[in-house]
A and B are shown apart, each in its own frame.
Chain A
Amino acid sequence: MKIIVLAKHAPDPQSEVGVAGDGKSLSLGTAVFDINDWDRYAVEEAIRIKEKMGGEVVVVGVGKNEDTLRKCLAMGADRAIKIPFEAGLDAYQTAEVICEAIKNEKFDMIFAGLMSQDYNNSQVGVLLAAMLNLPFATAVTSIEIGSGMVKVKREIEGGYQEAVQLPMPCLLTIQSGINEPRYVSIMGIKKAKTKELKEVNIAPKKSTVEVAKMYLPPVKKAELITGDPSQIAKKLIAILKDRGLIG
């Protein structure tokens, strides 16, 4: 089983993020970067399948930083392809360069994370499926491999799931929680140093959207309860008592 996995090096939205001076891009000075959370599950799932059935896991990353690709190799991916293009919000461009980079690869499945934790577009995987004319399913929560086909469950609203079957090759986008991703071991890091990380220079040919403006959302803010923890607790309990929520 040969699986290609897409992995993005992305800032954690829970770290301090803002808008840069140009009003069109993110200011990420102190933000913590790591493998996109959804991609971590996708890489783990691919490695588990390879460990069970044999084959190869090839991880593909777009961007100049290679920490995430190295991490994937240390987790157990066999080789990596780096496309040193700094992609923005135009997901079409990201999919386009990946499509070009893997055109000579044979594969049974492509895995992508359901979305990226920074831009939250949820596009690259399915755009790539369309460019390659592959059957696809998104938000996958379990995978069962059969002969020439795969049965998956995908998450839909209200706690329901949808079970579907796809022929291979196909593309799946992976929902978080599908597995428990492993930590990188010292042995893994050592092994990763000998693994291939190939750089492929590709630039997109097309641009579909451009950022006109980036800004902080206009939101109403909650009334703040301030003080030291003891005062805060006291004030909150008074509010709850006042509303008859506690005795």
Chain B
Amino acid sequence: MKVFAVAEHRFGELNPLSIELLNLANKLGESNAVVIGKDVAKFAGELAKYADKVWKIEDASLENYNPELYIDVLLQLFQKEKPDVVLIGNTAQGAEYAPYLAVKLNAPIVTDVVGVNATNGLVASRFVMQGKIMVDLKIKSMPCVLTVRQGAFKEGVQKSGKIIDAGIKPSKPAGRKFIEYIQPEAGEVDITKSNIIVAVGRGIEDAANISLAEELAKALGGVVAGSRPVIDNGWLPKDRQVGISGKVVKPKLYLALGISGAFQHVMGMKDSELIVAVNKDPEAPIFGVAHYGIVANIFDIIPELLDKLKGK
């Protein structure tokens, strides 16, 4: 199988997921990396260690990611090279343009893939129901596009691939224009610096209950953080969000209260030294990452903890 993996970079750094795409590509057949940008020599050199071939697509207009220009140049390359499988990182960038590219390639697409089996046709595995259930999807025609979840293909082989200048430029200017990247606002507390984090999720139910988590955090000598629903509701500021689109934390204790454990959140806290999760749903995915689990209503547990911590 001829596999093309589209690399990703931002702020001068190659996203390590690009290498994971090549690990999968090498399992499936001939591995080709594609790297798009203004000056991508540095990235091409790094990718060549894991790919049979690296295709460079360079142009001044490609300095910042633009989905229309990426699709334009990739279609030109794929028309010539005819891939069987196109791999793209399931990131804010990859997940954005991959479905559009798939339509233009007349290719089936499976997103957020964590496993691939090629023994009898191509079958891609992914989660549904925010991590509670898995599904194997049989892909009905080739070529196909897969977006790949971070961390699913960490093991791979080394190569020393050939770097090729694809000689491709965007065929027309894009309708969508890049303006700027906006930095996260710094908050009053940097949660990444705290040894103990009391994190709350949708199970906290109401803004008024945040104070309960704060009280517990204070008693434990830690800080309060939250998962996406809590931030979306405005119950905690954005700088307290743990997850891919927020902060990655590695405290000594991560106490997850009423957090279901969506992948987006788990990637922000899975490397904590000790994870304790309290959730009333015994099937909540958070119990797959926690060291200790408590299947209970958080409002039954928090007051008991407070009583015993204060009375010690």
Contacts and interface: CB of A to CB of B under 8 A. Distances in A.
Q: Bound pair: A and B? A: yes
Interface of A: 11, 13-14, 16-19, 26, 89, 91-92, 117-123, 126-127, 129-131, 135-139, 151, 153-167, 170, 176-177, 180, 207-217, 219-226, 229-230, 232-234, 236-237, 239-240, 243, 245-246
A70 B215 CA distance: 42
A246 B123 contact: no
Q: Give the 7 A-B residue pairs with the shortest CB-CB distance, closest first.
A: A159-B184, A177-B232, A222-B293, A130-B103, A219-B288, A233-B304, A208-B108
Given A126-B99, A130-B104, A216-B134, A233 B308 contact: yes
29 contacts: A13-B132, A16-B283, A26-B129, A89-B135, A118-B128, A119-B128, A120-B129, A126-B98, A129-B100, A136-B100, A139-B92, A139-B96, A155-B92, A155-B245, A156-B245, A158-B184, A160-B184, A164-B178, A165-B176, A166-B175, A214-B134, A215-B134, A217-B132, A222-B287, A225-B292, A225-B294, A230-B304, A232-B301, A237-B308
B108 A217 contact: no
Given A162-B182, A217-B127, A245 B253 contact: yes
Nearest to A171: B100
Contacts of A226: 295
Contact of B304 (A177, A211, A232): A232
A166 B308 contact: no
B118 interface: no
Contact of A154 (B92, B276, B288): B92
Contact of B103 (A19, A131, A225): A131
A135 B245 contact: no
A155 B231 CA distance: 14
A210 B138 contact: yes
B179 A211 contact: no
B76 interface: no
A217 B239 CA distance: 32
Contact of B300 (A131, A137, A211, A229): A229
A209 B289 CA distance: 30
B61 interface: no
Contact of B133 (A162, A165, A214): A214
B288 A127 contact: no
B140 A207 contact: yes
A221 B111 contact: no
Contact of B135 (A11, A214, A236, A243): A214
Contact of B309 (A170, A209, A246): A246
Interface of B: 10, 65, 67-68, 91-93, 95-104, 108-112, 123, 127-141, 174-184, 195-196, 202, 220-221, 228-229, 231-234, 238-239, 241, 244-248, 252-253, 260, 274-277, 281, 283-285, 287-296, 300-301, 303-305, 307-309, 312
B183 A138 contact: no
Nearest to A159: B184
Contacts of A239: 276, 292
Given A159-B238, A234-B308, A220 B288 contact: yes
Nearest to A28: B129
Contacts of B232: 176-177
B183 A160 contact: yes
A14 B260 contact: yes
Contacts of A158: 184, 244-248
A91 to B, nearest CB: 8
Given A163-B179, A219-B288, A123 B304 contact: no
B245 A157 contact: yes
A228 B31 CA distance: 55
A122 B271 CA distance: 27
A190 B62 CA distance: 52
B92 A156 contact: yes
A56 B140 CA distance: 39
A237 B130 contact: no
Contacts of A212: 123, 136-138
A232 to B, nearest CB: 6
Contacts of B108: 92, 208-209
A135 B136 contact: no
A219 B261 CA distance: 13
Contact of B307 (A120, A207, A233, A236): A233
Contact of B176 (A155, A164, A229): A164
A197 to B, nearest CB: 28
A123 B100 CA distance: 9
B100 to A, nearest CB: 4
Nearest to A121: B111
A164 B179 contact: yes
Nearest to B137: A209
Contact of A211 (B136, B228, B246, B289): B136
Given A130-B100, A222-B292, A208 B135 contact: no
A159 B241 contact: yes
B234 A117 contact: no
